[in-house]
């Protein structure tokens, strides 16, 4: 029971992180460095993108690997 709750919470967090990684490039104001200078990973645009998108990429990989493992174990 506790494992299922942890798995569900992990999926919810993972889906959130993947969604955030997908949306982040579209909400950044690339022409105004002041808009992202104070964000986590700033003051560079590359740093901000890595900090905001890398967790989503990692979550997507982990979710995909879990789905593959579940499919092969059946």
Give average pLDDT by consecutive 10-residue segment, the chain, 74 residues: 93 97 92 88 91 96 94 82
DSSP symbol at 39: S
Alpha helices in 1-74 (DSSP H): 2-27, 45-73
Contact 72, 24 (CB under 8 A): no
How high is the pLDDT of residue 73? 80
What's the pTM value of the predicted model, to 2 decimals? 0.83
Question: Could you tell me the two tokens for 69?
Answer: 């493992």
Residue 62: closest CA among 30, 24, 17? 17
């Amino acid at each position: 029971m506790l494992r299922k709750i942890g798995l569900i919470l992990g999926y919810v967090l993972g889906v959130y992180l993947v969604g955030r990684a997908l949306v982040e490039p579209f909400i950044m104001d690339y022409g105004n460095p002041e808009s992202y200078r104070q964000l986590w990973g700033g003051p560079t645009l590359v740093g901000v993108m890595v900090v905001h998108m890398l967790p989503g990429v990692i979550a997507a990989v982990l979710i995909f690997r879990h789905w593959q493992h579940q499919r092969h174990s059946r």
